Structure 1
Amino acid sequence: MFTDRPLQSSRLAVYGGGPLVARLLVGLGAGHVVEWTRRIAGSDAVVLERAGSRWRLAELGQAVLGADVLILGQGPARREAAPPALQEALRRRPTLVISLVQGASVAALRRWLGCAVPMVRAVPEPTARSFEGGCSVFATPDVHATQRRLAEQLLDAVGWPLMVPFEELLEPVAALTGCEGGCAFLLPRVLAQLSLGLSPVRKEARLRAMFPGGTLGLVEASAEETLRLSA
């Protein structure tokens, strides 16, 4: 787990609960606060503060000022807009937002939050039941290198992170990370060798065409065939 390595963050804000948020908190060694994310009424945020190698509950409330990262577990599907206090806090101090909200695009989440914050979207491999699955990750251009490293460290608690160059590739790549053997190891090579001239939609179509059976197709392909497809 990434928690064996130094984490360059001391305060995390968590808004919304759900299984992915719980999975991340458990992976961070903060499973003892999962119950709080289940109890909050949807208008509060949990702020965690690191004390040594452990995380403790620092405060409840919408004030995320001072937090290095906001973990978002709830979005447009649950309410029309983020709570006004949360929107105001993000406008006053644009905080890196890591979204675990499935099916909500960066554009939709920014509209919901009321501001264009730097954002990382994460889509874990859908069938993974442990922290051993993959997690496709997309970062908006305004996420700087330090924030990107921090996001990767945090998301390693959900599944091994694989950065994708376009948001449209999140779901198909997440599905492919569930393959067995050496198939998942080839994914970075596959992504790197997709033609840079293709549009995001065509990249997704090409990725699906390369592995028409999805995860199952990767597993069933011979090693030679998989290498040929990724070349």
Structure 2
Amino acid sequence: MTKELTLSLIGGGNMATALATGLIGKRCAAHDVHVIDPNESVRAAWQERGTTVAATPDAQLAGRRVWIFAVKPQHMKETVLSCRPFIQPETLVVSIAAGITGATIAGWLGTPERPWLRAVRCMPNTPALIGEGITGMMALSGVSEDDKALAQQLLRAVGEVVWVESDQALDAVTALSGSGPAYVFLFLEALIQGAKNLGLSDQQSRQLALATLHGSTQLAALSPEPPATLRERVTSKGGTTAAALAVFEQRQFAAIVGQAMLAASDRAAELAIEYAK
């Protein structure tokens, strides 16, 4: 894609910063980016990077090809409504606000009779902050193939992307990759504490746990075999791994994970209803 990219980041926090780090100097210049944030210190930091800034939505929005909403869900409605007067026919809207459905975004940007359908809803995760994220993406019906390619390019600045077809599928993405880092961190905490209980030092426990998780996920990513086969190869009959896995099975580890993900997905759907009010 060779067209000039002009971009407005509505909300200048961590995720917006991560996106800009992946884009400025590679896909656009700093002066092509306009950041809107009410926090004066946040705006000052962006100005130092060479972007334009504003405390509230202003006329510069009208000249930006892509709007990325990166605000907290509870502030999304008022923010969208304050930006709506500046929307143009060619504006592509990208939302990374959790829990706001595509239909809700379209209604806020347009009218009940003519919702704004040139929008992409996204669910990134926190590893995006180091360029190692993965984002679930859903395009509304007014998004062209060129728009999709552009939105995908933007989010690939912070990691991988996966396209889904519905808000319900994006709730599942939320339950897996959106909330997933917290599950991994919880497991990591448990591994470290378990090692300390067995007599290893804090430093030893942390180093061993981190390397084990990193190496195992890399092996799974690079191997053509499914995780179940890789697990079986580590597990000798009657051995130490078999003894540990037997405890996981007795406590129904897989069922617990599934129940947790269902709770996350259900909560995402509930929040969508709450935020739409």
TM-score between both structures, scaled by the size of structure 1: 0.59
Whether the aligned pair in 1 keeps the contact of 2:69 and 2:96 (CA below 8 Å) is: yes
Match of 1:89 in 2: 86
> Per-residue deviation at 1:75?
5.9
Q: Which structure features the higher share of strand residues? A: 1
In 2: Cα distance, 1:113 partner to 1:15 partner: 14
Whether the aligned pair in 2 keeps the contact of 1:71 and 1:99 (CA below 8 Å) is: yes
Whether the aligned pair in 2 keeps the contact of 1:27 and 1:158 (CA below 8 Å) is: yes
Q: Is 169-178 or 133-142 further displaced after alignment?
A: 169-178
Please say if 1:17 is aligned against 2:12. yes
Picking from 94, 99, 110, the partner of 2:95 is: 99
Whether the aligned pair in 1 keeps the contact of 2:131 and 2:157 (CA below 8 Å) is: yes
In 2: Cα distance, 1:138 partner to 1:59 partner: 28
- Give the direction of change, closer, same or farther, for the CA distance of 1:12–1:111 in structure 2 (3 Å limit): same
What per-residue deviation string (whole Å, max 9, x for no partner) do you get for residues 89-137 of structure 1? 11x4351101011121122223333453211111113566522221111
Picking from 51, 55, 60, the partner of 1:57 is: 51
Please say if 1:66 is aligned against 2:63. yes
In 2: Cα distance, 1:183 partner to 1:167 partner: 30
Larger Rg: 2
Whether the aligned pair in 2 keeps the contact of 1:121 and 1:137 (CA below 8 Å) is: yes
- Give the direction of change, closer, same or farther, for the CA distance of 1:76–1:113 in structure 2 (3 Å limit): farther
What's the RMSD between the two structures over aligned residues? 3.9
Match of 1:3 in 2: none
- Give the aligned residue type for 2:85: E
In 2: Cα distance, 1:151 partner to 1:76 partner: 20
In 1: Cα distance, 2:129 partner to 2:92 partner: 27
- Give the aligned residue type for 2:71: Q
Whether the aligned pair in 2 keeps the contact of 1:10 and 1:68 (CA below 8 Å) is: yes
In 1: Cα distance, 2:15 partner to 2:97 partner: 9
In 1: Cα distance, 2:139 partner to 2:72 partner: 18
> Per-residue deviation at 1:10?
2.3
Whether the aligned pair in 1 keeps the contact of 2:129 and 2:158 (CA below 8 Å) is: no
In 2: Cα distance, 1:138 partner to 1:77 partner: 21
Whether the aligned pair in 2 keeps the contact of 1:82 and 1:112 (CA below 8 Å) is: no
In 1: Cα distance, 2:135 partner to 2:148 partner: 14
Whether the aligned pair in 2 keeps the contact of 1:76 and 1:112 (CA below 8 Å) is: no
> What does 1:1-231 correspond to in 2, within 5 Å?
8-29=3-24, 37=35, 40-41=37-38, 56-58=50-52, 60=54, 62-63=58-59, 64-74=61-71, 77-78=74-75, 80-82=77-79, 86-90=83-87, 92-93=88-89, 95-115=91-111, 116-117=115-116, 118-126=118-126, 130-177=130-177, 180=217, 181-182=220-221, 213=257
In 2: Cα distance, 1:94 partner to 1:73 partner: 20
- Give the direction of change, closer, same or farther, for the CA distance of 1:122–1:134 in structure 2 (3 Å limit): same
Whether the aligned pair in 2 keeps the contact of 1:76 and 1:109 (CA below 8 Å) is: no
Q: Which structure features the higher share of helix residues? A: 2
What per-residue deviation string (whole Å, max 9, x for no partner) do you get for residues 42-61 of structure 1? 7xxx9xxxxxxxx9525645
Residue segments in structure 1 that go unaligned for 5+ positions in a row: 1-5, 47-54, 187-210, 218-231
Q: Percent identity?
A: 26
TM-score between both structures, scaled by the size of structure 2: 0.50
Whether the aligned pair in 1 keeps the contact of 2:125 and 2:135 (CA below 8 Å) is: yes
